[in-house]
Structure 1
Amino acid sequence: MKNNLLGRLALIALLAIVSTACNKNNDGITPQTHDANVYQQIMHANMTQMNAMKMTGDPDHDFAMMMSMHHQGAIDMANEVLKSGNDPMIKTMAQNVVSSQTSEKSQFTQFLSSHQAVASDAGKTFDAMAMQGMDKMMKAQDTRFLSGNSDVDFTALMIDHHQSALDMAQMELNYGKVDSMKQMAQKIIEEQKTEISQFQDWLIKNKPY
């Protein structure tokens, strides 16, 4: 009888501990469903558009085409955090993303309007690797913890998005032939490496989990 009483008291104590832990979690950050997250919605819509692109097999042409659409995803995400975010540093970085990538999109558009695509084995390799890179980015983003905090979620997902741009730019350096596109690829690598580091530093200091 005494043992049963002690057992029941122990069970009650354990349940109290579990309940307290659950309440602490409930008082903290609750993960947001990915489909409900506005940044994930932007990225999935952008990826759908990229998957619908008709690749030419020309590495420079397809780099310009894919990177232009990739930039649009970053611009859309940056405009969202400018609207719904609160952190001054993140808003400044988002405005830089909008300005720089809008300018680069214009350069890509100009190149595409004057460049005649010519398929090659190198281009086919580029296309296959680029699409694998896009899939890698989406898998990384689909496994991110999303808090519903606009500044935090934008920053976390932009790190993955920028890394994808770095990967694609490196592919252009490896397989591209046109100097202007290779120069743009190098510029993207240099700029977005720096931005990734800045985003990471901010996230380490400000993540709510």
Structure 2
Amino acid sequence: MAHTPHYRPCDMVKDIASDYGVLVPYHQAWSGRELAVRDLHGDVRISYDMLRWYSERVMETNPGSIIDMVVDEKTHRFKSYFMCFAVWAYGYEVGCRPLIFLDGSHITDKMQGVILAASALNGNDELFTIAFTIADLETYENWKWFLHNLKKDLLSERPTVFISDRAKGLKEAVPEIFPMDHHGYCLRHIKANFMIGAAARYQKSP
């Protein structure tokens, strides 16, 4: 499993049948894979429980970092976590152009959720992480919360250009938190969304 992290239970069933002539039910293969992943990487739920400990260590070793964690008041379950190391904020201010890319990516493990991130380009045109959030959903409320924390990280008030794919909530949240800055849209995503929308309208047309 350590060398084949994407080894699927269905592949395990086929390989065991081919190598040993034993037919293993799918649910047993799935359970075995889950145990192997847990032994190698630990329990995902325990990792979330360790966020408070991790935050304390970060503040000890990198003072000035911005960390914020939200827990649902009713269920007491994890909702979102914001992280920006002090060195990230400093690196952006002294080594990057005032151009920030905003994007979200879905987490595919059993806990699900999304990663919301702000990145820039350094002097070598390489992606430079400024801050990220782990959240339950990609929503207007979570993007607004993320941008509010991001604004606290920025060490200066130089004019900034934000680039995004107009994901859920971003179109409204950016001008609300950064009303004096510019917000542009990624051309590749605009083109892709246009093609998808055009195809859907074509299929609906008589």
Higher strand fraction (1 or 2): 2
Asked if these proteins are the same fold (TM beyond 0.5), I'd say no
- Please report the TM-score for the alignment, with normalisation by the length of structure 1: 0.24
Larger radius of gyration: 1
Higher helix fraction (1 or 2): 1
